[in-house]
Amino acid sequence: MKNYGFIRVAASSPKLKVADTSYNVEEIKSVIKEAGDKKVSVLVFPELSVTAYTCGDLFGQDILLKSAEEGVGEICRYSKDYDILIFVGAPVPVGQYLFNCAVVIQKGRILGIIPKTYIPNYDEFYEKRWFSSCRDYSQKQISYCGCDDIPFGADILFQDDDMPEFCVGAEICEDLWSPIPPSSYGALSGATVIVNLSASNELVNKSAYRTELVAQQSARLISGYVFSSSGVFESTTDLVFGGHLIIAENGLILTESKRFERDSVLAVTDIDLQKLSSMRRKNLTFRDSMDKAQVYYRRVLFKRDAERMDCILRKINPYPFVPSSSESIDKRCSEIFNIQVAGLAKRLEHIGSRDVVIGVSGGLDSTLALLVTVKTFELLKFPMSNIHAITMPGFGTSSRTYNNTVNLCKALNTDFKEISIVKASLLHLKDIGHDPDDLDVTYENAQARERTQILMDIANKEGGIVVGTGDLSELALGWSTYNGDHMSMYAVNCSVPKTLVRYLVKWVAENQISKEASSILFDILDTPVSPELLPADSKGRISQKTEDIIGPYELHDFFLYHMMRYDAPPDKVAYLAFNAFKGKYTKEEILKWMKYFYKRFFSMQFKRSCLPDGPKVGTVSLSPRGDWRMPSDASPAIWLKQIECIEL
């Protein structure tokens, strides 16, 4: 299977016996086998896992150090049939020094040894009694396990010879707690994955802090971070260890183990290196920081066998713009709504206007824009009568959307006008010689532009501005009429995707509005998305459903997010979509609408090149002034060609 930029990583906290290296090595070998069966590429064990972290003054015993070296040699021999990059903790003597190290093993050989940089010696820690810092030793190579010239030092990265973005750096426990962790320099030098061999004991609230620390470091470094800590089998003379395993990616905790388990534990997930590399290229602060680091790392190359992943382990969210938990959704909706309100309030104050004109149709987008406007007027203490809500029934207006519009404006106490566009549209079609029975794009767009003309002229009359209602998903697809609903003086929904519009309206209905208005909003939420530009059916119901024409917005939002946020190519976007929407859409359906998405995204750039102002609310935005600058005549050929080559 093509890996699409993913690599599988694992953290383990194996069973152990303090100072019993033979027992510990057998447990480590058992975990290596399990990781191999799970097709893992990077495996991280805890700090000093060959001996146990809590050996105390036994670290001064030659017999223990020699036994640890023999144990590492045994792990090397066992690993010859595995191309996993293995990080195992061991005490490594060099001359008069003893170092707390990560020994890096692959295919039966030691690739390098990373000594710990920061040696804790406070509170319950007494490591300086036994161990030296990497700063105490300047030689770049050592002899160990019968091998000469093994790369040694904290300035080593391990890079896949065939996949350069797969580059791993290591640090050990306390290193992460330092003001500037060594991993910061490693990431700036190219490491996309940081591993941490740790022995972090348990105290009240320490696990939460540890998790935050790992998440924050992975976010700051735009990297994967694999943290493995010692478990309950360490000595409990004074401390208890929980076996905390954490794997993070750019601030997101991908997986986290239960603590205090009474057996060996293996936490496995997949890290998206293509995503991380894309984000680093975009983040100029990250790039500029590279020039300031002034730390130079050696690279040790390694080779893996043919890619072994046969599936993806991590869950792919089908709604990437929408948080997964209800608590997060409430927080996200509140923040977005406040951004929209703040943007409109600033614009009104700046131009000195107390009047707003907005076209309302009973659909989700215009409803959200109206709710934002109402909240803005409450904030500025402007009268609701200065919100000029205009409904403009046309050939396709249904009784359901019409009634919801009228009732909502009444419940919100806005000014309300009804101006039919039927006569004006028919006259215009006659003037341009178009048969009104020909329900083509001219028939539809004539109505949209008539509505926009009405809104603009009323705005002139009232001395106000037109608030736009179009959303991010419509902008991506160009699903708007050029110089029609495409245009306004301030577009409050311009960076809110359709999948999120629904949650915002629901959040307002549940938290921000009267019971009477709330019931109307819930009916609007249940109404099919439609521009209502084609005649209603014989019962006055909506006959033109947008998603029947252009495809599901949830798919288009998924395509848009991964294409823009992480620069994912079509084959990867398709692979992610196959996993995210398994059981809901067939692969054929996904590819059909993906091809439609890319065609429209490219061909409709000219509409995005002249968008009105509007607030950015999330990481994906199509503003031509900021986030997305694309030539209107760019060709989608190579994107479409890749879609054609995707295997089902």
The residues annotated as belonging to the active site are 47, 116, 173
Q: Provide the terminal-to-terminal Cα distance of the chain, rounded to the nearest Å.
A: 12
Is 374 within 8 Å of 517 (Cβ atoms)?
no
């998924």: which residue's tokens?
558
Report the sign of the C-alpha dihedral through residues 289, 291, 295, 300, in that order: positive
DSSP state for residue 598 in the 8-state scheme: H
Is 615 within 8 Å of 495 (Cβ atoms)?
yes
DSSP state for residue 503 in the 8-state scheme: H
- Which residue(s) pair with 169 in the sheet? 194
Which of 590, 596, 608 lies closest to 495, judged by CA? 608
Q: Which residues, 6+ apart, have CB-to-CB distance to 315 below 8 Å?
A: none
> Is residue 515 packed enough to be buried (19+ CB in 10 Å), middle (13-18) or exposed (0-12)?
exposed
Buried b (16+ CB within 10 A) or exposed e, 564-600: bbbebbbbbbbbbbbebbeeebebeebbebbbbbbeb
Is 484 within 8 Å of 456 (Cβ atoms)?
no
Residue type, 176: L
SS3 101: strand
Opening angle at CA 248, ends 245 and 253, nearest 5: 85
Q: Cα dist. 220→184, 212, 550 in Å?
A: 8, 12, 39
Give the 3-state secondary structure percentages of the chain, helix then strand then coil, rounded to 5: 45, 20, 40
249/281 Cα distance (integer angstroms):
16
User: What is the phi-psi region of residue 601: left when phi exceeds 0, alpha when psi lies from -120 to 50, beta otherwise?
Assistant: alpha
307/172 Cα distance (integer angstroms):
29
C-alpha radius of gyration, the chain, whole number: 30
Q: Which two tokens stand for residue 475?
A: 């902008």
71/51 Cα distance (integer angstroms):
9
Opening angle at CA 527, ends 524 and 531, nearest 5: 100
- Which residue(s) pair with 483 in the sheet? none
Q: Cα dist. 440→88, 382, 436, 529, 534 in Å?
A: 68, 42, 9, 19, 9
Which of 270, 513, 484 lies closest to 384, judged by CA? 513
To the nearest 10°, the Cα dihedral for 55, 59, 64, 68?
Answer: 90
151/113 Cα distance (integer angstroms):
6
